[in-house]
Structure 1
Amino acid sequence: MSSVRALLLVAGCLLVGCSSQPPDIADGKPQRSITAAEVVDAEPQPEPLRDAGNSSPYRVLGQEYTVLDSPVGYLQRGRASWYGSKFHGRLTANGEVFDTFAATAAHRTLPIPSFARVTNLENGRAIVVRVNDRGPFHENRIIDLSYGAAVKLGFAEQGTAAVEVETITVAGVVDLRGDPNASLYRYVQVASFSDPEAASRMERVLRSQVESPVATSATQVGERMVHRVRVGPLDDFERLQQLHAELESLGYANTRLMPE
């Protein structure tokens, strides 16, 4: 597994939410075990690129990193590690709440958020992850996966694996980095469905569980329509984070913060 992605230690990290990895604090597997079948691939969708998590250049442990202008065409092979229980529930580089069971990843230079297919070159297993964090800051590792992603790729026990990371091009992504008028995160997306009836059922259940507004929005993704069930909008980011945690405690495992 990866060594710990601990508290921010340098000024550059304060800007992007990245972390260094001192050897005296141990990360580890969560108390609840999961199977590969329980880990759901991330769903590529056109999420806007914002300043959150994308400060560039930034410095960590004396090394400067520049975030890529675009994730399109990125392909690299190297070693992957994973991070888990130590950071479950903490904020990622873009202000989301890290879920060690979800298909997410940390990368040093890919824009946040980005989507990538990670293939374990040692056994052929693959997973689609959503990059929402910074790291790993080790010269011999190219990506830091959630524990759940490592389980699905079959290397959670051995700690690291040789992988291929290839980004997935998503049409319709708007780049709002540097835009002073870009709105902050205002919604918690609970789930997305191709079936509008399934979305309506979840919306009705959520209305009975939370006091904040609940609505379903329909978005064209490629050739299909996706119905996203969201709670919000909320202008108070702290309250939005609390709502995110409340929904996770209710058993909604794939929630994420959304700006619009």
Structure 2
Amino acid sequence: MKKYLFLVSALSLLISGCSQTSGGRYQIDQDHAPTRTPTEAETMDPTPRFEPYTRQGNAPYSLFGEDYQIVEDVRGYEETGIASWYGQKFHGHLTSNGEYFNMFSMSAAHKTLPLPSYVRVTNLDNGEEAIVRVNDRGPFHDGRIIDLSYAAAYRLGVTETGTAQVRIEVLQPELEDLAEQSDSSEPVEVSETIVAAPEEQQSELPQSLHGLFIQIAATQERKNAENAATELQENFNLSATIYQNNGLHKLLAGPFGELEAARWLSQLRADGYEGAFRVEFSSENSEQNPSESSEAPE
């Protein structure tokens, strides 16, 4: 029941936050431009930085008879199509990831990019470029790939034409930024019986364990590990593995790629799993020292 209510709440937030949708909650029937133009400061490019993906707005969804899957790997992601913009009607209302839409911020809506994402938008009609932070879903019109805030559209010259042919490129923070946020820290106690603590002594590991994982917890009671695994799957939709090692039942999430592991490690720590750490299993079935595999690659 708890999971059902969470899913209903998440879907309601997604639909309420989607740009270019109609509904009685808006005081304005027809979207329009504000009464003033953005200031120079309001149209400055935001600096791309690493941010954990929000729990809201990043699940697959269906809307208007269409199914949408969130992009899992954004490396090298580019797309060309029509950009539109949204403004006064949606100003101050919730976006799909739970933030408040500000038409004077350099933000945007996209149907399938993870939230938040940073994107470089190039207006192919006039050559203007800008960086926007994607924090909403939309536009749900055929042929349109991105909905720009009024400030972003003004900066790119889209307010003059209403729509424009654009190219979007996902920007990613430097790996040093990821490494800084995923540096190893001293494991902390998660509960009285579940702790995330690396062990020096190793034992035989299952053959199926291979690659990069995040250790969430270790407990002497398997039932506690199973309960934690259920919570992990329900709250984050992550695959969970439990294996016994040194008398402890260890809970792992993964496997992940390097960038994906860094993002999830930061997000899990921010959401209460402060003692989570990276651990890598080689093809020889040996577990590397977690402190040696806790940083992003150079």
1:52 to 44, 50, 56: 56
Higher fraction of helix: 2
**Closer/same/farther in 2, CA of residues 128 and 103 from structure 1, 3 Å limit:** same
* Residue 180 of structure 1: how far off its partner (Å): 7.6
**Closer/same/farther in 2, CA of residues 38 and 132 from structure 1, 3 Å limit:** closer
* Residue 14 of structure 1: how far off its partner (Å): 1.4
**Closer/same/farther in 2, CA of residues 161 and 37 from structure 1, 3 Å limit:** farther
**Closer/same/farther in 2, CA of residues 137 and 13 from structure 1, 3 Å limit:** farther
State the distance in 2 between where 1:180 and 1:120 align: 37
**Closer/same/farther in 2, CA of residues 40 and 85 from structure 1, 3 Å limit:** same
- 1:78 is matched with 81
State the distance in 1 between where 2:54 and 2:10 align: 17
* Residue 40 of structure 1: how far off its partner (Å): 1.1
- 1:218 is matched with none
Q: Percent identity?
A: 46
Q: Deviations over 1:198-249 (max 9, x none)?
A: xxxxxxxxxxxxxxxxxxxxxxxxxxxxxxxxxxxxxxxxxxxxxxxxxxxx
Q: Please say which structure displays the higher CA radius of gyration.
A: 2
State the distance in 2 between where 1:101 and 1:30 align: 9
**Closer/same/farther in 2, CA of residues 82 and 158 from structure 1, 3 Å limit:** same
For the 8 Å contact 1:108–1:134, the answer to whether it is kept is yes
State the distance in 1 between where 2:136 and 2:83 align: 14
1:14 to 12, 15, 37: 12
What runs of 5+ residues in structure 1 fail to find an aligned partner? 1-9, 185-260
* Residue 149 of structure 1: how far off its partner (Å): 0.3
State the distance in 2 between where 1:37 and 1:111 align: 26
- 1:31 is matched with 35
State the distance in 2 between where 1:169 and 1:139 align: 28
State the distance in 1 between where 2:49 and 2:131 align: 12
Q: 1:14 is paired with a residue of what secondary structure?
A: helix
* Residue 21 of structure 1: how far off its partner (Å): 2.5
* Residue 13 of structure 1: how far off its partner (Å): 4.2
- Structure with the greater relative contact order (CA < 8 A, sep ≥ 6): 1 or 2? 1
* Residue 25 of structure 1: how far off its partner (Å): 2.4
State the distance in 1 between where 2:107 and 2:113 align: 13
Q: Deviations over 1:109-159 (max 9, x none)?
A: 100011010000000000000000000111210000000000000110211
**Structure-to-structure mapping, 1:211-222, within 5 angstroms:** none
1:163 to 152, 166, 171: 166
CA RMSD of the aligned region, Å?
2.6
**Structure-to-structure mapping, 1:185-196, within 5 angstroms:** none
**Structure-to-structure mapping, 1:1-260, within 5 angstroms:** 13-14=11-12, 16-17=14-15, 18-19=17-18, 21-22=21-22, 25-34=29-38, 38-55=42-59, 57-170=60-173, 171=175, 172=178, 174-176=262-264, 182-183=270-271
* Residue 71 of structure 1: how far off its partner (Å): 2.1
* Residue 12 of structure 1: how far off its partner (Å): 7.7
State the distance in 2 between where 1:71 and 1:90 align: 27
State the distance in 1 between where 2:38 and 2:268 align: 42
**Closer/same/farther in 2, CA of residues 120 and 155 from structure 1, 3 Å limit:** same
Q: 1:50 is paired with a residue of what secondary structure?
A: coil
Bigger CA drift: 15-24 or 94-103? 15-24
**Closer/same/farther in 2, CA of residues 83 and 99 from structure 1, 3 Å limit:** same
State the distance in 2 between where 1:101 and 1:119 align: 19
State the distance in 2 between where 1:77 and 1:25 align: 30
What runs of 5+ residues in structure 2 fail to find an aligned partner? 1-7, 179-258, 273-298
- 2:3 is matched with none
Which letter does structure 1 place at the counterpart of 2:14?
V
For the 8 Å contact 1:39–1:149, the answer to whether it is kept is yes
* Residue 33 of structure 1: how far off its partner (Å): 1.9
State the distance in 2 between where 1:96 and 1:39 align: 19
* Count of residue pairs brought into register by the alignment: 173
Which letter does structure 2 place at the counterpart of 1:106?
A
State the distance in 2 between where 1:122 and 1:150 align: 13
